[in-house]
């Protein structure tokens, strides 16, 4: 927030400078009017015109005095007032005339005022490096108190724009301690600089002081709430933020909504966090920061708004980084929960194929394998399950993985691998035992070579514990005996 005076800088130069210098000179002239000679008339006329703001006419009067006047003090003043008038008229030579005056009259009482005027001119033009150049040459003690405060503030702000923050802080820190017109603006900028340095206690003090000003009260809440957040004072943040939202004058309410959402997120109150995040997004015209959008998506997911969470995670998942891969993992979960298995499969493929978090990588591969089996992509299921077994040999999911692999082999009619796999297991479950019994039987029914079929069928009988299965197998054998050729 750039501080601006109610009057323009040129008007301030007119009223302040003339108040302290020009009008005082007029007073002196008036008091000693009996001493004036005819050669002083142009000087007196110039002072009257200057006081009336008629700079062009005043310049002509002072030039007329320089042609005939002999008083060295008045001649020096005339040179100064000509240069001053040129500045007010925005003449191209105004700056050069002021510099010439300073160079030729370095000890003149108006030299410091001349630097002030040049600095203020450059400040008004937003030429901050030039403003710094002139303000740094000021003898502050030669200026009145009000001009000192103004010059210090302008110099501090000029430093601030050039990122010379230590120098800027020195100016603001001095001004914030003294009752003056620039106390509250200086408190604001000092608070900002303290916040950026991580000096949160001082930032809190400065912002609280600036908030006393009617001009700064509307903008302070969005800054002060950030200090509460950095200090992890979440309950105070929530109380202060909710109060600020109820004030019509407060600005940057979108930021306040954001930090309310962040505070509720830290307190794991995801329903409340979702409410304020939503309000924050409603006030934004561009995309949120990916890290913030990830937290928003997570809150939406935890609070049960799956559709919104999917849309938010999709935006973050576009990034080819850790946050993007984690977002893909959560997308996989959400798509699975909403029955969109093909999208879930794609999401888990992304999250399993990158290194970012060992636990999520393992879970992604497991879910990817399961989904391939559900979608009857048996070859890919077998491949991914074997990959899982190789990567995670000590997994507590051994039984689940073995069951998945058995099903994949069986459903892909890869009976040899099914038998081999089942026989390699130490503690097969009843479900796997049944798959083991069914595998060669299914192969027998599909075999074209009867002798091989009979061998597999008998193998199945020997391993079966089911009487009904034995009865069925006997019938099958008797019914097919006549088709076995004699030796």
Residues 298 and 318 in one domain: yes
Give residues with Cβ within 8 angstroms of 1, minimum separation 6.
188, 216, 219
Residue 241 shares a structural domain with residue 153: no
Tokens matching residue 127: 């030429």
Q: Which of 192, 168, 187 is nearest to 177 (CA)?
A: 187
Tokens for 467, please give them: 């009487």
Mean pLDDT (whole number) for 125-154: 94
CATH value at residue 381: 1.25.40.10
Q: Which range is least confidently modeled, 89-103, 173-187, 355-369?
A: 89-103
Mean pLDDT of 260-274: 97
pTM exceeding the 0.85 threshold for the entire prediction: no
Closest listed residue to residue 207, CA positions, set 228, 182, 188: 188
Find the range with the poorest average confidence among 60-74, 101-115, 180-194, 213-227: 101-115
pLDDT at 453 over 80: no
The DSSP-derived string for 427-468 is S--HHHHHHHHHHHHHHHHH-S-HHHHHHHHHHHHHH---HH
7, 152: one domain: yes
- pLDDT tier for residue 33 given thresholds of 50, 70 and 90: very low
If you average pLDDT over residues 58-72, what whole number do you get? Answer: 93
Judged against a pLDDT cut of 80, whether residue 237 lies above it is answered with yes
Same domain, 254 and 313: no
Compute the average pLDDT of residues 439-468: 47
- Same domain assignment for residues 27 and 44: yes
Average of per-residue pLDDT across 63-71: 92
pLDDT at 438: 61
Both tokens of 473, joined, read 């197998």
The answer as to whether 115 is a domain residue is yes
Q: What's the pLDDT at 5?
A: 41
* Co-location of 251 and 328 in the same domain: no
What is the structure's pLDDT at 475?
A: 40
Lowest mean pLDDT among 98-107, 173-182, 363-372: 98-107
The pLDDT of residue 440: 57
Residues 313 and 383 in one domain: yes
- Together in a domain, 141 and 266: no
Instruction: Give the range of the structural domain holding residue 133, as residue numbers without chain letter.
Output: 1-162
Q: How far is CA 148 from CA 14, 93, 119, 141, in A?
A: 16, 26, 12, 8
Which residue would you say has higher pLDDT here, 329 or 112? 329
Per-residue pLDDT, averaged over 72-93, amounts to 92
């Amino acid at each position: 927030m750039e501080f601006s005076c109610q009057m323009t800088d040129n008007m301030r130069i007119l009223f302040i400078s003339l108040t302290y210098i020009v009008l005082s000179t007029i007073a002196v002239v008036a008091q000693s009017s009996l001493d004036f000679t005819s050669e002083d008339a142009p000087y007196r006329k110039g002072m009257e015109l200057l006081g009336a703001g008629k700079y062009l006419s005043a310049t002509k009067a002072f030039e007329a005095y320089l042609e005939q006047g002999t008083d060295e003090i008045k001649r020096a003043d005339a040179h100064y007032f000509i240069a001053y008038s040129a500045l007010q008229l925005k003449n191209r030579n105004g700056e050069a005339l002021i510099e010439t005056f300073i160079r030729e009259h370095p000890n003149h009482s108006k030299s410091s005022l001349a630097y002030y005027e040049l600095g203020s001119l450059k400040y008004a033009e937003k030429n901050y490096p030039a403003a710094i150049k002139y303000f740094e040459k000021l003898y502050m003690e030669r200026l009145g108190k009000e001009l000192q405060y103004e010059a210090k503030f302008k110099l501090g702000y000029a430093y601030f724009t050039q990122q010379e923050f230590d120098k800027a802080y020195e100016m603001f820190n001095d001004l914030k301690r003294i009752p003056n017109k620039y106390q509250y603006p200086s408190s604001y900028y000092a608070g900002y600089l303290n916040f950026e340095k991580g000096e949160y206690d001082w930032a809190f003090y400065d912002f609280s002081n600036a908030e006393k000003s009617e001009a700064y009260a509307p903008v302070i809440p969005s800054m002060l709430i950030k200090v509460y957040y950095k200090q992890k004072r979440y309950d105070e943040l929530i109380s202060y933020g909710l109060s600020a939202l109820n004030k019509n004058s407060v600005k940057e309410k979108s930021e306040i909504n954001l930090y309310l959402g962040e505070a509720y997120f830290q307190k794991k109150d995801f329903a409340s966090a979702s409410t304020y995040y939503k309000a924050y997004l409603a006030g934004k015209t561009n995309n949120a920061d990916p890290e913030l959008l990830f937290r928003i998506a997570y809150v939406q997911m935890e609070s049960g708004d799956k559709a919104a969470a999917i849309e938010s995670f999709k935006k973050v998942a576009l990034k080819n980084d850790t946050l993007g891969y984690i977002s893909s993992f959560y997308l996989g979960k959400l798509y699975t929960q909403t029955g969109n298995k093909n999208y879930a499969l794609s999401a888990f493929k992304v999250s399993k194929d990158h290194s970012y978090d060992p636990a999520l990588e393992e879970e992604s591969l497991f879910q990817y394998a399961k989904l391939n089996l559900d979608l009857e992509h048996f070859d890919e299921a077998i491949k991914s399950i074997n990959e899982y077994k190789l990567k995670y040999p000590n997994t507590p999911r051994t039984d689940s993985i073995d069951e998945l692999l058995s099903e994949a082999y069986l459903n892909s009619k890869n009976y040899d691998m099914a038998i081999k796999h089942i026989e390699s297991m130490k503690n097969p479950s009843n479900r796997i035992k049944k798959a083991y019994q069914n595998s060669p039987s299914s192969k027998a029914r599909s075999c074209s070579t009867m002798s091989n079929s009979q061998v597999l069928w008998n193998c199945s009988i020997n391993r079966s514990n089911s009487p009904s299965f034995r009865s069925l197998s006997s019938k099958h054998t008797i019914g097919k005996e006549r088709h076995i050729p004699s030796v």
